[in-house]
Amino acid sequence: MARVRNAVVAGSFYDSDPEHLRREVDFLLNEQTAPKLKGHLRGLVSPHAGYMYSGSVAASAYRVLKGSSYEAVLLVGPSHREYFNGVTIYPGDAYLTPLGQIPVNEEFRTALLRQSPIIQLSEAGHRAEHCLEVQLPFLQRVLGDFSIVPMIIGNQTKEYCMNLGKAMAAVARKRNVLLVASSDLSHYHPYDDAVKLDRQVIHDVEAFNEHELMDRLVDERVEACGGGPIVAVMHASKLLGANRSHVLLYNNSGDVTGDRSAVVGYCSAAFLQTS
């Protein structure tokens, strides 16, 4: 019997009705103008809040995938509810959304487990976590059939993030693989303070400087709940040949709701190999 990770935030973060969800995601995707990106896409950054808050920013990332196909999508996110060291890969056969099952790619999962002892096969971080699940309906609508390797970073140390980046690059080299980092930015600051904090993260992403971003995160000079996943995907993308970063869209919950007293920031970005 297949071991499937059920959707846990359908009906809260996004619509649980398949037809309504298809329409919602398609509307968000069609609302975005596809940017003219030059080069081979290696990695993406996408937020993971409810679609009413961050859906437009997520769509700005996934819009660039129209017409693409991949052997596998390596998804990396943070653990919001469970604390553990290292990185976990879901041990089951598939993730489920209202749009259907997405198989876990056994070949790439096995290859990653062989790369580093920090990467473990475990449900820790996957059971009630939303950060990867909310990416999947977008991927389902733009890619159709695809497989995933769902990974959660526990304690986001520099060692774990850089090692994961190196491991992903090793298994993705000379393969048609997409890397995706799931992260929101600052949380619950007044609007102007949040924008100031988020600009620092965006500066490092635009500069394609994962080391500076990691140092700022460690020193708590900036905030991003999935900062470690961003660093890991930036590092892997660079090792795979990416040499340019393009920030696609930034906004925060205050731009959506009008309440600027305590906002959450969202950013999307693409990492490209241009030569």
Which tens digits make up the pLDDT trace of 215-235?
Answer: 999 999 999 999 999 999 999
Distance CA 202, CA 220 (A): 15
Contact between 74 and 119 under an 8 Å Cβ cutoff? The reply is no
Place of tokens 């329409």: 23
Place of tokens 């859906």: 55
Query: What counts of helices (H) and strands (E) characterise the chain?
Result: 9, 12
SS3 76: strand
CA 34 from centroid of its chain's CA atoms: 19
CA dihedral 120, 122, 127, 132 (to 10 degrees): 30
Q: Is residue 48 part of a domain?
A: yes
* Partners of 44 in the β-ladder: 180, 270
Distance CA 66, CA 143 (A): 7
Distance CA 156, CA 167 (A): 16
Q: Is residue 18 part of a domain?
A: no
* Partners of 152 in the β-ladder: 77, 88
Q: Is residue 115 part of a domain?
A: yes
Q: Is residue 114 part of a domain?
A: yes
Residue 110: give its domain's CATH number: 3.40.830.10
Q: Is residue 233 part of a domain?
A: yes
The proportion of the chain whose per-residue pLDDT surpasses 90, expressed as a percent, equals 96
Pairwise pLDDT comparison (108 vs 33), residue with the higher score: 108
Q: Is the confidence at residue 33, as pLDDT, over 90? A: no
Q: Is residue 25 part of a domain?
A: no
Overall number of domains in the chain:
1
Q: Is residue 4 part of a domain?
A: no
Distance CA 51, CA 56 (A): 8
Question: Which structure tokens are listed for 264?
Answer: 């959450």
Q: Is residue 2 part of a domain?
A: no
Q: Which domain holds residue 90?
A: 44-259
Largest Cα span, the chain: 52
Q: Is the confidence at residue 2, as pLDDT, over 90? A: no
- Report the pLDDT averaged over residues 29-58: 94
Distance CA 29, CA 66 (A): 10
Determine whether 57 is exposed, middle or buried from the number of CB atoms within 10 Å of its CB (0-12, 13-18, 19+): buried
**Which segments within the chain are labelled E, that is strand?**
4-5, 40-46, 72-78, 87-89, 94-97, 100-103, 119-121, 148-153, 177-182, 187-189, 244-252, 263-273
Q: Is the confidence at residue 34, as pLDDT, over 80? A: no
Q: Which phi and psi (to 5°) does residue 163 adopt?
A: -65, -40
| Confidence label for 99 from pLDDT (cuts 50, 70 and 90) | very high
pLDDT, position 275? 79
- Report the pLDDT averaged over residues 235-260: 97
pLDDT, position 210? 98
pLDDT, position 1? 76
